[in-house]
Structure 1
Amino acid sequence: MNARIALGIAALFTCATVQASKPAKPDIYNQSAWSQPQKPFRIYGNTYYVGTKGLSAILITSTEGAILIDGTLPKNAPMIEANIRTLGFKLKDIKLILNSHAHPDHAGAIAAIARDSGAQVAASAKGAKALMLGGDDPDDPQHGEAAPYPKVANVRSVGDNEIVHIGPLAVQAHYTPGHTPGSTTWTWSSCENKRCLSIVFADSISLLSNDTYRYNDPAHPERLDDYREGLKTIASLPCDILVVPHPDAIDFLSRAAQRKPGQNDDPLIDAQACKAYAAKGQDNLEKRIAKEAAEKPAH
């Protein structure tokens, strides 16, 4: 992993743009928070957090089966499975596994969890391709830098705006390419005491890449166009509770820890959260474009 990506990985927690300085290269599998245990908890209604301190995994449940979004790192599979059991659910309850984007820190454990649960795996068209390649996707901005992970067999392709169903559960896909070509934001509704809220699992908005990839590339105008359209999509979504692949990017776990039984104002509920997240992504993009303009063209 080169210094550009090493710095970018640290920046995931702040959604900052890659900076000019070049610190020592960290190993992405040695990010302590990414594999640090987190007690699973109810986010709202039938939606639960089952990830680690540094990587989100979300469980949506029903009496007819459950949906899991993301699996985190390959080595975290037993931890995610244990979190699901701790909440009183069985692995076989999971009927469908969805993915935000096909990098090892979010898709790495999917193959193992799918095997152990018997669940089907689904992703966007380009996301499905990357999952079946174990992340070895030449169209990925981080191709050659992001670590490989176990390939996922027979991934179902989900179309843009398509709704996937498991029993009464209905989760909608929204293509938001940029961080990867197959990046996907997922939305659904969860209800509690007759109050239903819109929940958004918005994909990462950082622009990390290898040394040769350019977002502002005249030969690939779709890169900027797609990224901008994805941000518009996120900003436009009904959004009472926002979740993202790296919870620290929006202080999700710290806000969840502030909740108290019986309190009226839930720190996780913020109808402006998606708009603010998209605005941060737009700022990231403008900084990246400026940085690329100041650099010599890649060869």
Structure 2
Amino acid sequence: MTILSFAAALALLSASGSALHDDPLTRPIPGNADWEKPQAPLKLHGDTYFVGTGGLSMVLIDSSDGLILIDGALPQTVAMTEASIRQLGFRVEDIRYILNTEAHYDHSGGLAALARDSGAEVITSPIGAAALRMGQADAHDPQASSVAAHPPVANARGIDDGESVRLGSAAVTAVFTPGHTPGSVSWTWKSCEGDACVNVVFASSLNAVASGGFTYRAHPDVTATLRASIDRMEALPCDLLISVHPDNSGGDVKIAALQAGATPNPFLDPSACRAYAERARGRLQARLDREAS
């Protein structure tokens, strides 16, 4: 798939934009402009493909018996996502499961439309599933006062920490990483190219972000939970990291390099999860220091 053909597909989507916005499940939710930046889909490794935008990661896993999609980005990026999936030669209707990292509209806003269009079941943590069904952040979320509502996801269900979603040759395991939201989940699986297999981590956000009157110093339980999630991320077997926001882990630079034909694969980095965790740990401490002053 060439960048030119992807641009042509986006032009067709733009031409039908007004019709898409009449759909209650794809009406735009304002956000960061980078979150809607077009990004051509590309193969990351084996049967793992990037189908997100320039600012929001989404991954498609091709099993021997259908597809697994991770995250939903924004309502207004659903058409872009579906175009990316088709550009790779797959069918949206073959998505069996959609996994979610966190019930914030930038990662879950498109889930309702994607689930409707594919018939897929949406899976996340029990706390996250309850928030998805309500279409709004959990009341104990540090950003609950400012995170926009999104279309409710009626068929969202929760699974246990450490439980795997299995489909054909794929087994994607839930790793609960709460703190940024109470129900945050990271996902891990093995991607193989012939006999060469790597551990892939799709990481939820670990950033200490809050709104309203919430402070981490006044909520030591949330702070401790986030620290534990950061430690857990650091310890994961991790050869290839995809963070929910690519620029939080250098993924934006890696995507550009991979798209340009860089070798070896820039995403193959066994230190990536440790670096991601260390960045999050530093951001948490910086926030605590600001709150103290």
TM-score interval, smaller chain: 0.7 to 0.9
Q: Which residue of 2 aligns with 1:24?
A: none
Is the contact made by 2:29 and 2:76 (CA closer than 8 Å) also made in structure 1?
A: no
Q: Which residue of 2 aligns with 1:164?
A: 165
1:288 and 1:204 map into 2 onto residues whose CA distance is: 15
Name the % identity. 45
1:53 and 1:233 map into 2 onto residues whose CA distance is: 27
Q: Which residue of 2 aligns with 1:272?
A: 271
1:179-198 paired onto structure 2 within 5 Å:
179-198=180-199
Q: Deviations over 1:3-62 (max 9, x none)?
A: xxxxxxxxxxxxxxxxxxxxxxxx972522211211000000000000011111100111
Query: Does structure 1 residue 140 correspond to structure 2 residue 174?
Result: no
1:49 and 1:135 map into 2 onto residues whose CA distance is: 26
1:93 and 1:28 map into 2 onto residues whose CA distance is: 27
TM-superposed deviation, 1:261: 5.2
1:220-299 paired onto structure 2 within 5 Å:
220-259=219-258, 263=263, 265-294=264-293
2:31 and 2:107 map into 1 onto residues whose CA distance is: 15
Q: Which residue of 1 aligns with 2:7?
A: none
1:272 and 1:71, CA in 2 relative to 1: closer, same or farther beyond 3 A?
same
1:69 and 1:30 map into 2 onto residues whose CA distance is: 20
1:161 and 1:30, CA in 2 relative to 1: closer, same or farther beyond 3 A?
closer
Q: Which residue of 1 aligns with 2:19?
A: none
TM-superposed deviation, 1:215: 1.8
TM-score (norm 1): 0.85
Is the contact made by 1:216 and 1:223 (CA closer than 8 Å) also made in structure 2?
A: no
Q: Deviations over 1:213-250 (max 9, x none)?
A: 12222xx4421221111011100111111001111122
1:125 and 1:34 map into 2 onto residues whose CA distance is: 26
Is the contact made by 2:132 and 2:156 (CA closer than 8 Å) also made in structure 1?
A: yes
2:31 and 2:70 map into 1 onto residues whose CA distance is: 23
1:1-299 paired onto structure 2 within 5 Å:
29-217=30-218, 220-259=219-258, 263=263, 265-294=264-293
1:213 and 1:277 map into 2 onto residues whose CA distance is: 24
TM-superposed deviation, 1:286: 1.0
Q: Deviations over 1:165-191 (max 9, x none)?
A: 112210111111111001111000000
1:227 and 1:32 map into 2 onto residues whose CA distance is: 28
Q: Write the letter of the residue equivalent to 1:270.
A: D
Is the contact made by 1:100 and 1:184 (CA closer than 8 Å) also made in structure 2?
A: yes
TM-score (norm 2): 0.87
TM-superposed deviation, 1:130: 1.1
Q: Deviations over 1:141-168 (max 9, x none)?
A: 1112011110001211111111111122
- What secondary structure does 2:63 align onto? coil
2:77 and 2:265 map into 1 onto residues whose CA distance is: 29
TM-superposed deviation, 1:257: 2.6
Runs of 4+ in 1 over 3 A off after TM superposition: 259-263
TM-superposed deviation, 1:282: 0.8
In structure 2, the gaps of 5 or more residues are 1-27
1:261 and 1:285, CA in 2 relative to 1: closer, same or farther beyond 3 A?
closer
- What secondary structure does 1:76 align onto? helix
TM-superposed deviation, 1:290: 1.5
Is the contact made by 2:57 and 2:244 (CA closer than 8 Å) also made in structure 1?
A: yes
